[in-house]
């Protein structure tokens, strides 16, 4: 069912993860025509079953992305899914960049920080007349609401770790380092870096020897068009494997994928996932 003021044709620039799949499905259900540019080696092939058009491209093919969306006459586009950060440091020749990507990388970027790169890509699209929207505006129902998302709630000791870790991870996020930390007994065990959240959970759980708490947040002033935390069933699998018993995410600023599956898997494993503002204690 279409909505008032909803665009009829939406472009998706798809990286890794389930978020692009869920967004494509939601948009199709609303009657939108979905045109996908899928990053080879990152995007899930399942997106082909949900889109009206799919164009597989390399990571550094900005000029091709623009041409595809222009030809499809998309009214707005979304940048969804992850890209393994290590790929940005591979041999540039292996990425085979097109000329527009070369100009962006070597002439326009004042730094190679994630947010700088993504802001520059957004600017390129919007200068070409292709507005970039946020998944939060298009699919607000995907945001995690405040409260415990599982049967198990944090213990008082776990709430202390959440409150301890919250301002720490907020500072780390503000410094563009990462958006997740692992804490145990009010000590920081692991900090997210270029290896990403899943690796941080595994590393932190191993170092903590079990019973750890993870806190994941959005940085202040973040751009919802490309910079929003996401959690889902795969995250629960990592928590279970790593020995991290509690995950606190930021309410209203975190995408929650397949909430029913998340709850069922977490409850079965005895895990706790809570969406909070960081000030909770004995309740969200």
Cα dihedral 37, 39, 44, 46 in deg (nearest 10): 30
Which residues are within 8 A (CB) of 27 and not within 5 positions of it... i.e. 6 or more apart? 10, 12, 34, 138, 139
Of 112, 143, 96, whose CA–CA distance to 250 is shortest?
143
- Dump pLDDT digits (tens) for 243-272: 999 999 999 999 999 999 999 999 999 999
Question: CA–CA distance from 108 to each of 56, 126, 207, 219 (Å)?
Answer: 25, 15, 41, 24
CB atoms within 10 A of CB 236: 24
* φ and ψ of 56, to 5 deg: -85, 130
Look up residue 236 and give its two tokens.
């629960």
What's the pLDDT at 118?
78
Pairwise CA distance, residues 199 & 127, whole Å: 36
Model confidence at 137, pLDDT cuts 50, 70, 90, reads: confident
Burial class of residue 283 in the structure, from the number of CB atoms within 10 Å of its CB (0-12 exposed, 13-18 middle, 19+ buried): exposed
Could you give the CA distance from residue 53 to residue 38 in angstroms, rounded to a whole number? Answer: 10
57 contacts: CB under 8 Å, gap ≥ 6: 37, 38, 39, 40, 64, 65, 68
- For the chain, the average pLDDT equals 87
Is 0.75 topped by the overall pTM? Answer: yes
Distance CA 2, CA 259 (A): 24
Q: What is the pLDDT of residues 162-207, one digit of tens each?
A: 999 999 999 999 988 899 999 999 999 999 998 889 999 999 999 9
Superfamily, domain 143-276: LpxI C-terminal catalytic domain (3.40.140.80)
Strand bridging mode 244-250 / 272-276 = parallel
Greatest Cα-to-Cα distance within the chain, rounded to the nearest angstrom: 56
Residue among 204, 143, 135, 137 nearest 169 (CA)? 204
Q: Which CATH number is associated with domain 9-138?
A: 3.40.50.20
Report the pLDDT averaged over residues 214-243.
90
Give residue 63's Cα distance to chain centre: 24
Alpha-helical runs (H) found in the chain: 19-29, 62-72, 92-95, 99-103, 114-127, 135-138, 156-174, 197-208, 233-242, 259-269
Question: Where along the chain do its domains lie?
Answer: 9-138, 143-276
Q: What is the pLDDT of residues 73-113, one digit of tens each?
A: 999 999 998 876 555 555 444 455 665 776 665 565 555 56
Look at residue 53 and give its three-state secondary structure: strand
């Amino acid at each position: 069912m279409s909505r008032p003021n909803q665009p009829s044709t939406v472009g998706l620039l798809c990286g890794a993860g389930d978020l692009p799949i869920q967004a494509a499905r939601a948009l199709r259900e609303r009657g939108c025509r979905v045109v996908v540019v899928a990053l080879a080696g990152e995007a899930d092939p399942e997106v082909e079953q949900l889109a009206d058009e799919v164009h597989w491209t390399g990571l550094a093919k900005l000029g091709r992305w623009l041409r595809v969306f222009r030809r499809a006459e998309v009214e707005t586009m979304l940048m969804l899914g992850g890209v393994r950060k290590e790929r940005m440091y591979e041999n540039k020749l292996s990425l085979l960049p097109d000329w527009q990507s070369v100009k962006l990388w070597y002439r326009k970027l004042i730094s190679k920080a994630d947010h700088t790169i993504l802001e520059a890509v957004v600017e390129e699209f919007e200068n070409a007349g292709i507005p970039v929207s946020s998944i939060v505006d298009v699919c607000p129902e995907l945001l995690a609401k405040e409260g415990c998302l599982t049967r198990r709630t944090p213990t008082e000791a776990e709430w202390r770790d959440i409150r301890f870790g919250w301002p720490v991870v907020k500072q780390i996020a503000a410094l563009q380092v990462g958006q997740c930390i692992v804490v145990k007994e009010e000590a920081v065990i692991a900090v997210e870096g270029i290896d990403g959240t899943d690796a941080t959970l595994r590393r932190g759980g191993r170092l903590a020897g079990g019973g750890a708490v993870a806190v994941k947040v959005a940085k202040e002033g973040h751009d919802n068009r490309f910079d929003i935390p996401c959690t889902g069933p795969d995250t629960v699998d990592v928590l279970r494997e790593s020995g991290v018993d509690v995950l606190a995410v930021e309410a209203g600023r975190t995408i929650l994928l397949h909430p029913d599956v998340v709850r069922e898997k977490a409850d079965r494993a005895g895990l706790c996932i809570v969406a909070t503002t960081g000030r909770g204690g004995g309740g969200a």
